[in-house]
Structure 1
Amino acid sequence: MGKITIHCVRHAQGYHNLCEANHRLPDPDLTELGVQQCTTLSEQFPYHSKITDLVASPLRRTLYTCILSFPDEVARGLVITALPELQETSDLPCDTGSAREVLEKEFGSKVDFQRVQDGWNNKQGRWSPAAAAIEARARDARLFLRDLGSSGDEDRDREIVVVTHGGYLHYFTEDWEGNDKFTGTGWANTEWRSYQFVDQEGKDANASLKETPESRIRRVGHEHPLSEAEQRNLRSSAEEGWKESGFQKPADADQEAKL
């Protein structure tokens, strides 16, 4: 089995990032600065020639970040897979995606929306802003990416770009370091980090990830991760802050049953 590397990217600045009032904007676009951030990421990202797959949350800001930050990959024919499991955590208008037909008209053949089915943006059941639901779909996303990375030539290394959201990335990577209760994330706009599966044999039912030593050294100066206890404490603090801010809601019994 070839090695699978996942390059996680937080989207560029959107209009909802400018002020709290803009959280009412539905599925907002990138700001002018956000577009510039994509250009900078494209210029600085060192692995363009190695990328085999592009995957993104179906929200407009993540799709545009992927298209603008990885233009060479798009130009050589890589179609972006829109994966609804990667959508942001809250049910605010800014974190609620547009209807599939609207997105298909806007993005055309650059994006494959086959996995975006009716109800993906209703923020109920498995799509709800409850911690258990977010955790479950983050696991589903990792499993999908592991299957994607192991498809085709089994001996071929796969390098997958995943463009998603700051709050969600903590669940996806299971890394809560740097999380800030006021911004909702420890990831900067267009920040990228590289990960590989803890179990390269594909037997881990959780499909947990670990940051590569090169990635961690690049951003924090060393490769030593936090302990499990430290991660649990950080997650507890982050989720409490999100609930206070309205970004996350407790699941009711009906929601739990649907997960």
Structure 2
Amino acid sequence: MPTYIHLVRHAQGFHNLTPANHALPDPDLTPLGREQCAQLQRTFPLHAQVTHIVASPLRRTLYTALLSFAPVLTSSDKQVTAVPDLQEVAPLPCDIGSSPQALAVEFGPAGQVDLRLVTEGWNDKESAGSPYVPTVEKLEARARRARVWMRELGRRFEAENPGVDAHIVAVTHGGFLHFLTQDWDGADHSKGTGWDNTEWRSYEFAGGDEDEEARLRETERSWRRRRGSEKGLTETEQMELRAALHSRVEREWGNLGQGKVIGV
């Protein structure tokens, strides 16, 4: 049985309003962002099929998951699982998450967020030994870990529920989505991503169990819904766009810690 991954970019946060707001630590959603969540909740057609909801532990992604997929959460005993590997790329204050203790105070009492994976150091983007320092190598490694983790989550579900497909909703960030999907089509340096707020796309795993990269492939239905009959980029065009974007951001950001920042 296939595992379907429905990737969602978070709703508008206060940091999206102006570059000056990038200095805000772990910002909340704007009123428009909450309206975007309500719109996604109304229009997402697969609530009844969702088997898991996972999200970056930043506040804007957790709130996007809670608000947009409330029908799933209220009709079952499901929770939003906070996954540190899904956090955003950059070391800006707006992209550095809150402490596990602060998240537990804010999200723990309602019981709708599982924070067991959020441990001390998950928001460390400076220490040389941290897996979250935004270097090319570490970003690609955690994107791979996230894909493998979701593939295993789907496998376990399908083993326990024969004949039922796993549908995993993953709420994450615009910059990281390009690493997660290995798709650079539409990437724009000025806003850091080719994904709109609350945009969602559906994926399958492209290879078999032996695929160590656990590569994702957008489903034909998802592609048609958003792009019609338009053709996607060739592999060469993807690589050229990726290299150009990385080079430009490296020049503008410079060095951070043990490597170069490639997020915005």
Measure the CA separation in 2 of the matches of 1:214 and 1:191. 15
**Alpha carbons 2:13, 2:60 under 8 Å: kept:** yes
Counterpart residue type for residue 49 of structure 2: K
Other-structure match for 2:192: 184
How does 1:1-259 map onto structure 2 within 5 Å? 2-75=1-74, 76-108=76-108, 109-124=111-126, 125-154=130-159, 155-199=163-207, 201-222=208-229, 224-246=231-253
**Alpha carbons 2:158, 2:166 under 8 Å: kept:** no
**Alpha carbons 2:37, 2:198 under 8 Å: kept:** yes
Post-superposition CA distance 1:235-256 (Å, at most 9, x none)? 112223333443xx5577689x
Residue 131 of structure 2: SS of its match in structure 1?
helix
Measure the CA separation in 2 of the matches of 1:250 and 1:148. 36
Post-superposition CA distance 1:74-111 (Å, at most 9, x none)? 11221111000000000000000000111111112111
Counterpart residue type for residue 202 of structure 1: D
Measure the CA separation in 2 of the matches of 1:169 and 1:250. 22
> Structure 1 126/205 Cα, relative in aligned 2: closer, same or farther at 3 Å?
same
Measure the CA separation in 1 of the matches of 2:236 and 2:158. 39
TM-score by length of 2: 0.91
Q: Return 5+ residue gaps in structure 1 as ranges.
A: none
Between 128-137 and 153-162, report the one with greater CA deviation. 153-162
Measure the CA separation in 2 of the matches of 1:219 and 1:41. 15
Post-superposition CA distance 1:202-222 (Å, at most 9, x none)? 220000000000111111112
- Two-structure CA RMSD over aligned residues (Å): 1.7
State the identity %. 48
TM-score by length of 1: 0.92
Aligned-residue offset at 1:21: 0.5
Residue 117 of structure 1: SS of its match in structure 2?
coil
How many corresponding residue pairs?
251
Measure the CA separation in 2 of the matches of 1:52 and 1:15. 30
Between 75-84 and 161-170, report the one with greater CA deviation. 75-84
Measure the CA separation in 1 of the matches of 2:105 and 2:258. 37
Counterpart residue type for residue 208 of structure 1: R
Counterpart residue type for residue 142 of structure 1: R
Between 219-228 and 30-39, report the one with greater CA deviation. 219-228
Measure the CA separation in 2 of the matches of 1:91 and 1:25. 12
Aligned-residue offset at 1:141: 0.2
